[in-house]
Amino acid sequence: MRGAPETMTVLRPKSAKEAVSLYAQDTGAMPLAGGTDFMVLWNIGLFNNRKILDLSGVRDWRKISATRTSVVIGALATHAEIRRHPLILKEFPLLAEACATIGAAQIQNRGTLGGNIANASPAGDTFPPLLVYEAVVHLVSARGKRELPISEVFAGVKRTTLLKGELIESVELPSLGKRPTRQIFRKVGMRLAQAISKTAAAGLLTLGKGGVVEDFRFSFGSIAQTAVRLTEAESLVVGKKLAPSVIDEACRLMERNVSPIDDIRSTREYRLEVSRNILRRFLEGNRT
């Protein structure tokens, strides 16, 4: 079946307040941001006879701004806006890099950060950076506001912990304080554009006196049901020097947090091998 627009009712709120109120009255309505995920399903008729909550008129949710201790990205900011924003480029370059790898120019110009999160694909490319930056997702509903660490947003493949009637308002990135000694975003796909990740990684490492690791955060997308932080490898590495035995053990521990699968894009073995190599080279201080 094809999408039949004449069967749909489009609600067009002009403010966040109106969007929340309309959604509270009809929690079965389908939020629409940039429409890049939405249109794929629309095209096969999945939204026929549905109400659509078009968020594009909520201008406040497009803004990217700084607070004293963080940068706040409105849910409707597009990947193109994020990848070019001076504050993001300076403070959170891994997110800018991730947004620059999403689809191609057309998708980046329409696709939004809020839509990427709400869609909750295991291959969402913004998630590894959001995890290492310990982003906080701001949600709003008629019941009020709620904050969720990004690590608590994903419940499984295409499933989130958002409650009925909740919309994503913004994503807050707390300032890092000290600049990391090393940082990486790496996406591995079939092509440079229009590629869904086989694996995607983001990492931050801060070295202190004598080469002892002060802070280490590393996450992968596409190799588990949701994007994941390597919690065990992180705990192992912090407080130690990056000796070969520590790096070997961190690479071994990585497997406790991931569960890559065979699918049309890649095999479990390839995903694991490439991901392990990315982690190893990052810990060894070798980007290539």
Ligand X SMILES: Cc1cc2nc3c(=O)[nH]c(=O)nc-3n(C[C@H](O)[C@H](O)[C@H](O)COP(=O)(O)OP(=O)(O)OC[C@H]3O[C@@H](n4cnc5c(N)ncnc54)[C@H](O)[C@@H]3O)c2cc1C
Residue 30 binding ligand X, by CB under 6 A: yes
Q: How far is the CB of 158 from ligand X (least distance, A)?
A: 9
Distance CA 206, CA 183 (A): 9
- H or E element at residue 89: helix 86-91
| Residue, CB closest to ligand X | 115
Question: Biggest alpha carbon distance in the chain?
Answer: 67
Residue 170 binding ligand X, by CB under 6 A: no
- The number of residues that bind ligand X (CB under 6 A) is 29
- H or E element at residue 255: helix 244-257
Q: Where are the beta strands (DSSP E) in 109-192?
A: 136-141, 144-149, 154-156, 159-160, 167-174, 182-188
Q: How far is the CB of 210 from ligand X (least distance, A)?
A: 39
Residue 157 binding ligand X, by CB under 6 A: no
Stretch that binds ligand X, among 37-45, 206-214, 254-262, 274-282 (CB under 6 A): 37-45
Residue 102 binding ligand X, by CB under 6 A: yes
Instruction: Provide the mask over 122-141, with x wherever binding to ligand X is found by CB under 6 A and - wherever it is not.
Output: --xx----------------
CB 215, CB 204: distance < 8 Å? yes
Distance CA 49, CA 83 (A): 36
Please give the residues from 173 up to 232 whose contact with ligand X meets the rule CB under 6 A.
194, 196
**Which C-beta is closer to ligand X: that of 166 or that of 234?**
166
Residue 119 binding ligand X, by CB under 6 A: yes
CB 120, CB 224: distance < 8 Å? no
Of residues 111, 128, 129, 180, which one binds ligand X by CB under 6 A? 111
- H or E element at residue 98: helix 93-100
**Which C-beta is closer to ligand X: that of 40 or that of 105?**
40
Q: How far is the CB of 150 from ligand X (least distance, A)?
A: 14
DSSP annotation string for 21-68: HHHHH-TTSEEESS-TTHHHHHHTTTTTT-EEEEGGG-GGGG-EEE-S
Neighbours of 95 (CB within 10 A): 30
Residue 3 binding ligand X, by CB under 6 A: no
Of residues 77, 118, 135, 236, which one binds ligand X by CB under 6 A? 118
Sequence-separated (6 or more) residues with CB below 8 Å from residue 23: 29, 31, 53, 141, 142, 165, 167
**Which C-beta is closer to ligand X: that of 28 or that of 244?**
28
CB 37, CB 119: distance < 8 Å? yes
Q: How far is the CB of 231 from ligand X (least distance, A)?
A: 23
**Which C-beta is closer to ligand X: that of 107 or that of 246?**
107
Of residues 168, 173, 247, 250, which one binds ligand X by CB under 6 A? 168
**Which C-beta is closer to ligand X: that of 55 or that of 242?**
55
Residue 107 binding ligand X, by CB under 6 A: yes
Distance CA 182, CA 108 (A): 27
> In the complex, which residues of this chain contact ligand X (CB under 6 A)?
30-38, 40, 55, 75, 102-103, 107, 110-112, 114-116, 118-119, 124-125, 167-168, 194, 196
